[in-house]
């Protein structure tokens, strides 16, 4: 499910048939996160990963065709209750792409995961939508569910 908040913000949601603790474990384990992060057919090559407030994840996403997409996440908040807030950069210490968050809502043994991205400009938002960011983001949440055995 996707919800538009304004002309720069994309919100994706998925309910996963697992408790918050299991979903959180997949996000907070530096060995697990790169295994499921990204759309179908993509893989991650991690340079550095430090999953905590003040930490960062520097990695390349590698597309099915071998195209490399440099990424850098800087974590502002990293907490199972309050969620994750981070800044997305185009490559290590590159220009800011968006502010993002992940929230985890307990639903009686299931978890609603809500991802939000506020892009730097409305044009970047439209470009992201144009290349399929909504569908690709939902695929990522599908890979999360599959990783924890809740697909």
Give the pLDDT confidence score for residue 151 in this predicted structure.
80
pLDDT, tens digit, for every residue of 54-105? 999 999 999 999 999 999 999 999 999 999 999 999 999 999 999 999 999 9
Domains of the chain plus CATH, in order, are 2-147 (3.30.530.20)
Render 5-21 in DSSP notation, one character per residue: -SSSEEEEEEEESS-HH
pLDDT, tens digit, for every residue of 1-28? 544 557 899 999 999 999 999 999 999 9
Give the pLDDT confidence score for residue 6 in this predicted structure.
79
Work out the burial of residue 45: count CB atoms within 10 Å of its CB; fewer than 13 is exposed, 13-18 middle, 19 or more buried. Answer: exposed
């Amino acid at each position: 499910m996707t919800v538009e908040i304004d002309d720069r913000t994309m919100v994706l949601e998925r309910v996963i048939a697992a408790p918050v603790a299991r979903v959180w474990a997949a996000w907070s384990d530096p060995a697990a996160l790169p295994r499921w992060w990204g759309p179908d057919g993509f893989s991650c090559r991690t340079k550095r990963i430090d999953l905590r407030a003040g930490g960062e994840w520097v990695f390349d996403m590698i597309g099915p065709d071998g195209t490399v997409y440099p990424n850098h996440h800087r974590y502002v908040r990293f907490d199972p209750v309050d969620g994750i807030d981070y800044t997305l950069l185009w490559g290590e210490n590159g220009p800011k792409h968006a502010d993002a968050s992940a929230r985890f809502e307990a639903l009686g043994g299931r978890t609603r995961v809500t991802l939000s991205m506020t892009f730097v400009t409305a044009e970047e938002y439209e470009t992201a939508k144009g290349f399929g960011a909504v569908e690709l983001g939902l695929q990522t949440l599908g890979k999360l569910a599959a990783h924890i055995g809740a697909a």
